[in-house]
């Protein structure tokens, strides 16, 4: 939480600095004198005077300001309801209204330009984020994980089954689970076309996402397919590890200590060793079940029922 606050204040400081820099540069360009340019609020920590302008760093990093000549006199005249205030060369009100408008608009204009530059920079460099594949499971198939719903989910009504791959929805391609989430986010209550692969066949249907009242997004009662992982093998299983290495082709050190990928259904029981590693012989699997306790990590979060935004180790990178 503290780190979030620190980064938030840092981001706010950058945004304010760019905003006030816009006012400052245009004011100088149209010959308006700038009395002070400050980063932060409150007491002054450090400062220097150059070219008639005091440049300051203040104690509280929650803003900043660009004080132009004539602003104080104008505010004072309004507060005291004076009919006029003194004219002085180089003040904000010694220039034409058009130049004053440019000076005031420069702040938000610089913020917009700064955002465009940042967006272009990030897009040109590229970035990575984690997502799931387009293979899905039906939440109601695993009630112990996702709970039991009395109603048929939109995915079931559309004919989807666990293990299917959604290839398009609303006529938009779906290559990853995040694509599906982006499409559904504002489509609750609508009936939209969906195309998926079921048992090797391409099926076209229609689906009506439901509204998730907590997030406001459309959901269809699915979660991402996530392969489980055999996390650890007990230290006293070294003899059996050599048999596993021989049958699976894995290195002994990897089997002894390292996590192992497996190919199985999204939810595995600790006793279902033959499902977790199909390449094991029946005898070896039986030995595992009778002699050792295996730790199976399914990596299927309970919260992913609502089209979870959790991540797995599959990366997408924007075009560079």
Catalytic residue among 20, 182, 247, 314: 20
Task: Note the pLDDT tens digit of each residue in 172-230.
Answer: 999 999 898 889 888 888 899 999 999 999 999 999 998 888 888 888 989 888 877 76
Q: Would you place residue 241 in the very low, low, confident or very high pLDDT band (cuts 50, 70, 90)?
A: low
Number of H helices, E strands in the chain: 10, 15
Average confidence (pLDDT) over 76-104: 84
Is 20 among the residues known to form the active site? yes
**Is domain 136-224+303-317 classified as CATH 3.40.50.720?**
no
In the chain, domain spans = 2-125, 136-224+303-317, 229-297
d(CA 179, CA 174): 5
Task: Confirm if 62 and 12 have CB atoms less than 8 A apart.
Answer: yes
Half-sphere exposure of 213 (CA within 13 A, CB side): 0
Q: What is the pLDDT of residue 160?
A: 93
308 vs 181, residue with greater confidence = 181
Residue 36 pLDDT more than 90?
A: yes
What is the separation, in whole angstroms, between the first and last Cα of the chain?
33
Q: Quick one: tokens of 171? A: 């006529």
d(CA 188, CA 208): 7
Q: In 286-299, which positions are buried (b, 16+ CB within 10 angstroms) versus exposed (e)?
A: ebbeeeeebebebe
Whole-model pTM: value is 0.49
């Amino acid at each position: 939480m503290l780190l979030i606050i620190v980064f938030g204040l840092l981001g706010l400081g950058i945004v304010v600095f760019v905003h006030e820099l816009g006012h400052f540069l245009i004011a100088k360009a149209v010959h308006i004198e700038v009395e002070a340019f400050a980063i932060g609020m409150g007491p002054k920590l450090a400062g220097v005077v150059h070219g008639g302008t005091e440049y300051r760093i203040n104690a509280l990093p929650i803003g900043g300001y660009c004080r132009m000549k004539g602003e104080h006199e104008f505010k004072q005249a309004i507060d005291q309801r004076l009919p006029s205030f003194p004219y002085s060369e180089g003040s904000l009100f010694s220039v034409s209204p058009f130049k004053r408008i440019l000076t005031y608009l420069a702040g938000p204009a610089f913020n917009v330009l700064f955002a465009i530059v940042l967006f272009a920079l990030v897009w040109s460099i590229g970035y990575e984020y984690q997502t799931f594949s387009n293979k899905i499971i039906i939440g109601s198939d695993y009630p112990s994980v996702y709970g039991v719903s009395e109603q048929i989910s939109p995915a079931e009504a559309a004919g989807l089954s666990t293990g299917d791959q959604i290839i398009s929805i609303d006529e938009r391609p779906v290559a990853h689970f995040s694509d599906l989430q982006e499409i559904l986010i504002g489509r609750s209550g609508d009936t939209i076309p969906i195309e998926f692969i079921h048992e090797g066949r391409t099926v076209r249907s229609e689906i009506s996402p439901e509204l998730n009242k907590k997030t406001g997004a459309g959901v269809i009662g699915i979660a991402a397919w996530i392969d489980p992982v055999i996390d650890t093998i007990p230290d006293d299983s070294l003899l059996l590890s050599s048999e596993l290495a021989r049958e699976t082709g894995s290195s002994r050190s990897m089997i002894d200590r390292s996590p192992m990928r497996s190919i199985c259904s999204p939810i595995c029981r600790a006793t279902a060793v033959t499902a977790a590693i199909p390449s094991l012989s029946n005898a070896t699997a039986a030995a595992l079940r009778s002699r050792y306790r295996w730790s199976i990590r399914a990596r299927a979060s309970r919260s992913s029922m609502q089209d979870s935004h959790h991540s797995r180790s599959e990366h997408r990178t924007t075009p560079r």
